[in-house]
Amino acid sequence: MPPTPLLLVQLMITGASVKAAAVSQMNAAVDSLSRELAKLRTGRASPGMLDHIMVELYGVKTPLNRMAVVSVLDPKTLAVTPYDPNALKELEKAIISSPLGLNPKADNQRLIAPIPPLTKEHMQAVCKVVSKSSEDVKQSIRRARQKIDDLTKKFIKTAEDMCKAKEKEIRGG
């Protein structure tokens, strides 16, 4: 018995929602990758480098980017301007204790953080992190694609069943 038009409509609706979910999952994977890559020190100043740093102020840990404006002064220098000038010392401590290897200095009401050149070992380590991130995002995208592939198989099976039923009808069986 061939699939009913209602079944086909249900499959199409399901297909649209599966596709939308897969696209959403793929976009989320790429967005996550973008955020992770922005945190890596490349030898060039980038405000995103400090996004993952947590600062303890008045007993509360807060992301640095919620406590200060991070701007690029030049390709090798970041400026960190706190919203609360009293937080300058805590911001400085948090940046120094981060694994980025930065050593900011106070300049009036802001911190100036020169970006040191990368060592060969650090370059290799960062490249390994980028490679791992690349594989992780590819796996996530493949998982999302698998959902669409499964849906495609359902549509192909439906089409094959319809054709088999029609052939059977034509042969008089």
Q: Class for domain 47-117, per CATH?
A: alpha beta
pLDDT band, residue 173 (cuts 50/70/90): low
Q: Is the pLDDT of residue 52 over 90?
A: no
3-state helix, strand, coil in the chain (%, to 5): 60, 15, 25
Q: At what angle do helices 120-170 and 5-38 cross, to 10 degrees?
A: 180
Tens digit of each residue's pLDDT (9 = 90 or more) over 98-149: 888 889 999 989 999 999 888 898 888 888 988 998 999 999 989 888 888 8
Q: Is the pLDDT of residue 3 over 60?
A: no
DSSP 25: H
**Global pTM value:** 0.60
